[in-house]
Structure 1
Amino acid sequence: MTFHDRVDPESWAVLDAASAHLPADLWAASPVARRQASDALLAAMTAHVPPTETVTWHDQAVPGLPGEPDVPIRIYRPRGADAGRPGVLLIHGGGMWGGSIAHEHLRAVSLADDLNAVVVSVEYRLAPEHPHPAPVRDCSGALTWMASNTDALGVDPSRLVVIGGSAGGGLALGVALMARDQGGPRLHYVMALYPMIDDRSETASAREFDHLGAIWDYTRNVEAWAWYLGGQRADAYAAPARAEQLTGLPPVFIDVGELDVFRDEDVAFALRLMQAGVPTELHVYPGAFHASEFVAPDADLSRRISRTRLEALRRALRPTAAVGLSGDAAHEPSPLSVPAAR
């Protein structure tokens, strides 16, 4: 059975149509040129999205960790938000070399609206100009600032969560490990969506999914890791799959597509979390490729993925509920309710 035969048909149809709008030489271009092409495509995709009336936002820069530069962030608040809201640190994807706050804007708005939460979206430095540990330290700096300013933000310090997709998912787990090891903020929950966590790229799924056109695959992943590490050996904060000890982490949610290059490393990591006694929720979606719910948000599969994520977040962020109890969803979420990116 071919890769095409295994993909959700609705998602494939949208991917096939969208691929026609990508520059033919995109993957041969430099990281800077790729960012520019990605930004142009995003602008075209969101040109007709109406403004929201339920969430406000503004940009600012906050202090980074000691010895690091200030970190640009964007803060989203539901209109009329009072104190005691959940606090969400949102980390964009992009293979460690791309992506931005702008790429996560619609997701951040949806998270703030759906969860009645204050969302801090972080603009971390990118490889190859800024290899590891710059990105994870920027994200950790934003989390540290957020935890130190919960009163001003109107955030409940006991309900701090980190969410990221792909590269952002790997950074979310790296931030959680760094917070645990270095006495950082106490996290309530981590949501890592098809996280990029293993620089070795030795699993069966890593090797199987290659030469996939517009889809993130083995060749692009190996290239991205080389740029991100800049010749260094990966540590656990760069590649969380290398962490030797996983005890002491907050509850973790991981999902990944059956046809994702990251499938096996994510499943293996989730199993290790469970074995370490970390409450872990894992979902593997048949027919889903990397970031398929972002590519085809209206597909039935995408809506199921997004609904499952939102329900998990509502359970986790309910002030008096334990993580893992059954919850209810007030409405079916937009597939943009949670972040998705390469």
Structure 2
Amino acid sequence: MTMARPALDPELRELSADMPLIPRLTPEVLTQLRQLPPAPIEPLLEHRQVHRREITVPAKDGAPIPLSVLSPANTDRTTAAPCIYWIHGGGMVMGDRFSQIDIPLEWLHQFGAVVASVDYRLAPEATGTVLVDDCYRGLLWVAEHAAELGIDPARIVVAGASAGGGLTAGVTLMARDLGNPQIAAQMLICPMLDHRNTTTSSRQYSGVPGVWTGEMNAFGWNSVLGDLAEAVVSEYISPALAEDLSGLPTTYIDTGSAEVFRDEATDYATRIWAVGGQAELHVWAGGFHGFDALYPQAHISITSRRTRADWLARLLPLNCVA
């Protein structure tokens, strides 16, 4: 019996009518997808006054982690800037530090923020906590070099979409537990939080075509977990496992009503509220996974992006001077 599902936003349904969809994600399909040329960042920077710096940070095992730092050019360096530490999406198996970079670049323009985007290693080549550890090491480097980068260390926001949203949650839990670095806020955009893949929304979007289906989600998680036994899966890998969500920085979560991650995102916000934490949750009616990145021109996408920016404007007042 086919499960009932929320209807798509009419404009998104029309825009996505001819969108090619991957029927299934397999090792062979993943290899083909990785061979596609990545979207270049240069056109996004062409009409912006941006200073770009490329560095590498040593991972826990010594492997180099690429990190791009994008700063507003000609900035008054007497005023320390907020920082957006960006973690890209791609199901933990694909993508790079420039994936979805147009999202934080909007905040660079609006708030004078420095954007640091990390190129963590991908599954299945990297498994277990390697991905979240890479992201954490990059964040530590940014915080430790805040003065050099012109960043206010009290205004570092960790943000990410999809897999990057899940890794954002894992990094934030790790920073809380280790006591360093200080994170002002976390932004989880359609986050990939729960390896169990058993929610109602994950079942609703299994066995049907989609941008990211329950089957694709299982492939991504299996790639990350490898041979790990269920009993030893860390909450830093799968943040929905965390028993204690207290002590987290203020949190923004958004998702669509018509996507796999709807219920785990909603549950994460609910559990933050349950321990007295601050979370803002938006479930965009008729939004499918990644709708605002795929179709930024749609009205629902414009509204969702503006709502995130409004939240950041309240969080990062422009007159805050270090």
Q: Same fold (TM over 0.5)?
A: yes
Q: Which letter does structure 2 place at the counterpart of 1:80?
A: N
Residues 272-320 of structure 1, C-alpha deviation per residue, up to 9 Å, x if partnerless?
Answer: 0011111110011111011111121111111011110111111111267
Q: Is the 8 A contact 2:72 2:114 kept in 1?
A: yes
Match of 2:107 in 1: 111
Match of 2:12 in 1: 11
Q: Which letter does structure 1 place at the counterpart of 2:48?
A: E
Match of 1:237 in 2: 236
Give yes or no for the alignment of 1:199 onto 2:195.
yes
For structure 1, which segment, 201-210 or 10-19, has the greater mean C-alpha deviation from structure 2 after superposition?
10-19
| Aligned counterparts of 1:113 and 1:284: Cα–Cα separation in 2 | 26
Give yes or no for the alignment of 1:187 onto 2:179.
no
| Aligned counterparts of 2:44 and 2:115: Cα–Cα separation in 1 | 20
**Aligned with residue 70 of structure 1, among 42, 64, 74:** 64
Q: Which letter does structure 2 place at the counterpart of 1:56?
A: H
Q: Is the 8 A contact 1:27 1:34 kept in 2?
A: no
Give yes or no for the alignment of 1:88 onto 2:81.
no
Q: Is the 8 A contact 1:76 1:108 kept in 2?
A: no
Report SS of the residue matched to 1:27. Answer: coil
Q: Is the 8 A contact 1:26 1:34 kept in 2?
A: no
CA drift of 1:16 comes to 2.1
Stretches of structure 2 lacking an aligned partner (at least 5 in a row)? none
Q: For residues 294-313 of structure 1, what are the structure 2 equivalents within 5 Å? A: 294-313=293-312
Q: Is the 8 A contact 1:10 1:296 kept in 2?
A: no
Match of 2:116 in 1: 120
Q: Is the 8 A contact 2:6 2:286 kept in 1?
A: no
Q: Is the 8 A contact 1:55 1:113 kept in 2?
A: no
CA RMSD of aligned residues (A): 2.3
Match of 1:56 in 2: 51
Q: Which letter does structure 2 place at the counterpart of 1:311?
A: D
Report SS of the residue matched to 2:100. Answer: helix
| Aligned counterparts of 2:221 and 2:318: Cα–Cα separation in 1 | 38
* Structure 2 CA distance for partners of 1:27 and 1:56, relative to 1, 3 Å: same
Q: Which letter does structure 2 place at the counterpart of 1:63?
A: P
Match of 1:317 in 2: 316
Identity of matched residues, %: 35
Aligned length, in residue pairs = 313
Q: Which letter does structure 2 place at the counterpart of 1:172?
A: T
* Structure 2 CA distance for partners of 1:26 and 1:258, relative to 1, 3 Å: closer
**Aligned with residue 139 of structure 2, among 143, 163, 179:** 143
Alignment TM-score, normalising by the size of structure 1:
0.85
Match of 2:161 in 1: 165
| Aligned counterparts of 1:225 and 1:256: Cα–Cα separation in 2 | 19
